């Protein structure tokens, strides 16, 4: 993937992460999972494990978008550095 594609993905990821509907839905799903976990019987270890895995997957999906944003910032910074250095040598 080239710098432009990485930066484009970062912009898309940022739009998603900052979108109010995404934020609301992420929080709703997270709260529902936590509530189910809190209300589950102590003896239901299999059910609790499933809920834990669902919470982890939810966080991993958000983390993937956040990593795409960070990758884009790095790619943009490297592009700017390359441009700056190129100006020095020309």
Instruction: Give the C-alpha separation, 50 to 71, whole Å.
Output: 31
DSSP type of residue 2: -
Mean pLDDT of 18-42: 97
Q: What mean pLDDT is predicted for residues 4-26? A: 95
What is the mean pLDDT of the segment spanning 23-36? 98
Pick the closest to residue 73 from 13, 7, 19, 5 (CA basis): 7
Q: What is the pLDDT of residues 51-79, one digit of tens each?
A: 999 999 999 999 999 999 999 999 888 88
Average pLDDT over residues 29-58: 97
Distance separating alpha carbons of residues 64 and 25, to the nearest angstrom: 17
Q: Do residues 22 and 16 make contact, with C-beta atoms less than 8 angstroms apart? A: yes
């Amino acid at each position: 993937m080239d710098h432009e594609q990485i930066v484009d993905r970062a912009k898309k990821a940022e739009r998603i992460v900052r979108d109010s509907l995404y934020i609301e839905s992420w929080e709703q799903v997270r709260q529902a999972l936590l509530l189910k976990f809190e209300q589950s019987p102590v003896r239901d270890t299999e059910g609790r494990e499933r809920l834990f895995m669902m919470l982890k997957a939810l966080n991993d999906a958000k983390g993937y978008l956040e990593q795409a944003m960070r990758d884009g910032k790095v790619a943009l910074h490297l592009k700017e550095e390359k441009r700056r250095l190129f100006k020095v040598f020309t």
